[in-house]
Structure 1
């Protein structure tokens, strides 16, 4: 009985050993880990990569240009003009208003007197005791009789325009005055109390 089982065991052992050797030779000794495949960006078929990069770099420039264009789209009348060493800012519209006031107050007066009237308004704008815009100074309560009486019209002429421009350029025949009045018609005791700096035509200018 033992003699029959011995060859069978030997045959089974030999087959098992051969199968183990076969597995060792067939199975790879080292495994390669899969390498990640880089994903390339999809490029426009009609544009080269260098052109696409340049387009990306130009985007901030385009946006800055758009902002610049928006800032330029401002009404010409609302843009301030700096005069008197930066102390007074006057827009084109305010220049027209000031020329109308000079016409209402100084028509028939010497040209120097017209410049002095415009200078008084600009002196008030620059002063801490008055509003800081030409329009607010002119329309302040009881500031100028043509406004108070409703006689400030849209009339002006080249003389008053030039007088305003000269006053903006720094000419001040009033010698820094903040007030002016006609001594033949002025009834306010207060205005008579102001120190007079100069008299031009029918007006006295005072501080």
Structure 2
């Protein structure tokens, strides 16, 4: 959460944590947080060993604890994927659910079920403090 949300917001960190937990619950991904986060080419390189610091570290630890206790971003729903909001993804199966913390979060759907093909405006302030 610390490295993927660019330490930009609590909402962004909760959303990243929600994606991780959605993956843990999915049969398509490993069964533990460490295995999901440690998957090659899935999250920022070195996330399991890089050091955190400052106020962002405190925010990340507090937010991680909240996510492990069950808090989820209210708009991530079943999403299991995200990318930087500035990235332009050219796939017909991406259904965006929320943008927060500098990232756009999405579900993969059959193209006929995609109703939001571009990332929505960034939104903050939806998670607890």
Q: TM-score, normalised by structure 1?
A: 0.44
Query: Could you tell me how far apart the structure 1 residues matched to 2:66 and 2:78 are?
Result: 15
Q: Over aligned residue pairs, what C-alpha RMSD do you find?
A: 2.1
* Matching of residue 116 in structure 1 with residue 15 in structure 2: yes
Specify every segment of 5 or more residues in structure 2 that has no aligned partner in the other structure, as ranges: 108-129
The answer to which structure, 1 or 2, has the higher relative contact order (CA under 8 A, 6+ apart) is: 2
Counterpart in the other structure of 1:127: 26
Alpha-carbon offset, residue 188 of structure 1:
5.0
Conserved? CA contact 1:104–1:153, under 8 Å? no
* Matching of residue 176 in structure 1 with residue 78 in structure 2: yes
Specify every segment of 5 or more residues in structure 1 that has no aligned partner in the other structure, as ranges: 1-101
* Matching of residue 104 in structure 1 with residue 3 in structure 2: yes
What secondary structure does 1:198 align onto?
A: strand
Count residues in correspondence.
101
Alpha-carbon offset, residue 159 of structure 1:
0.3
1:1-207 matches, within 5 Å, as: 102-144=1-43, 146-147=44-45, 150=46, 153-155=50-52, 157-173=57-73, 174-184=76-86, 186=87, 188-190=89-91, 193-207=93-107
Q: Which structure has the bigger radius of gyration?
A: 1
Query: Could you tell me how far apart the structure 1 residues matched to 2:98 and 2:14 are?
Result: 13
What secondary structure does 2:59 align onto?
A: helix
Conserved? CA contact 1:116–1:167, under 8 Å? no
Query: Could you tell me how far apart the structure 2 residues matched to 1:167 and 1:175 are?
Result: 14
Flag as ranges the 4+ runs of structure 1 deviating above 4 A: none
* Larger helix share, 1 or 2: 1
Alpha-carbon offset, residue 142 of structure 1:
1.3
